[in-house]
Amino acid sequence: MPELPEVETIANGVNARVRGRRITAVWTSSKPQTFKSPETEIASTLTGSRIESVRRVGKTIVMTIRLEPTLRSAKDGPPRTAEFLIHLGMTGRLLVCTPEMPVAPHTHAVLTLDDAREVRFVDPRRFGRLSIHHTDAAEESAGTITKSGRQQKFAGYAGPGSEPLAISLDDFVALFHNRRTPIKAALLNQSLLHGVGNIYADEALFRAGIRPTRQAARISHEELKKLRAALVAVLKQAIKLGGSSVSDYVDADGVRGFFQLRHKVYQRTGEPCRACRTPIKRMTLAGRGTHFCPTCQK
Ligand SMILES: [Zn+2]
């Protein structure tokens, strides 16, 4: 499953390729699982609109579009922009290609652009989701929205949790206050931090020296400071790595495995810790395979 850095890589790659283009036609596959908004709504909203930007929010790709004037109704100042949300699920891919490129099996949506190129959503296992999010006009004019009384970085769709690359230390520490679950489970809880998956949770906990089973509420301020820094560092490192291979995901029609960091603990069960040579242990926590060094992580 693509994690935050992979989704960011794809969103940035698609943004660089389609920003500013107009969508002239939309085709959808009629496979009901894929569409969280009615297909007719997706097609009617996107057709004729212009793509303003493509970005990542959590593990969702958000395509902001400016609606055609004909689609705006005159009364009540309706939204001038909308957002097309693309969640890749387990196997979803978003490709930008020329029309000659054969359409892959399991293609569920094709947006035709005004330069004849196409944005295609391909998803064999159909855990991916496509939907339209209507941006509130007031939100848009303010430029920011408030959530829990705090200013959020993003206008429009903000997802359920906080953004791990943007959250302040105080807000990060507050997430775990009074939380009795193991820290690993708290890191995976998408309503707290969105976009952190199994790999980066294990890798960040190793780098911070924190045992995944520790109760979140009992982790010291100093340790949480280290954990936030470790999480940001592993995510940024992976995003940087993805930047060099973006073309493999966005341009090509082949199926490629996602890039991976050189893991320190993830899926290295029984192998020596890169810091102390103790064999890496594996356990199941919150239903997920969890990897840690019993010596380095306290
Ligand atoms: Zn170790």
Average pLDDT for runs of 10 along the chain of length 298: 88 95 96 93 95 95 86 57 94 92 94 97 93 71 44 66 95 96 96 92 97 98 98 92 77 64 92 98 96 98
Which pLDDT belongs to residue 255?
Answer: 55
Q: How many A from CA of 276 to the centre of ligand 1?
A: 4
Q: Which of 59, 120, 207, 228 is catalytic?
A: 59
The reported pTM is: 0.85
Q: How many A from CA of 218 to the centre of ligand 1?
A: 22
Catalytic residue status for 59:
yes
127 burial (CB, 10 Å; 0-12 / 13-18 / 19+) is middle
Q: How far apart are CA 189 and CA 135, in angstroms?
A: 26
By C-alpha distance, which of 255, 246, 248 is closest to 123? 255
Q: Which of 2, 164, 182, 212 is catalytic?
A: 2
Catalytic residue status for 55:
no
Q: How far apart are CA 148 and CA 161, in angstroms?
A: 11
Which pLDDT belongs to residue 256?
Answer: 61
Q: How many A from CA of 271 to the centre of ligand 1?
A: 11
Q: How many A from CA of 206 to the centre of ligand 1?
A: 8
Q: How many A from CA of 268 to the centre of ligand 1?
A: 12
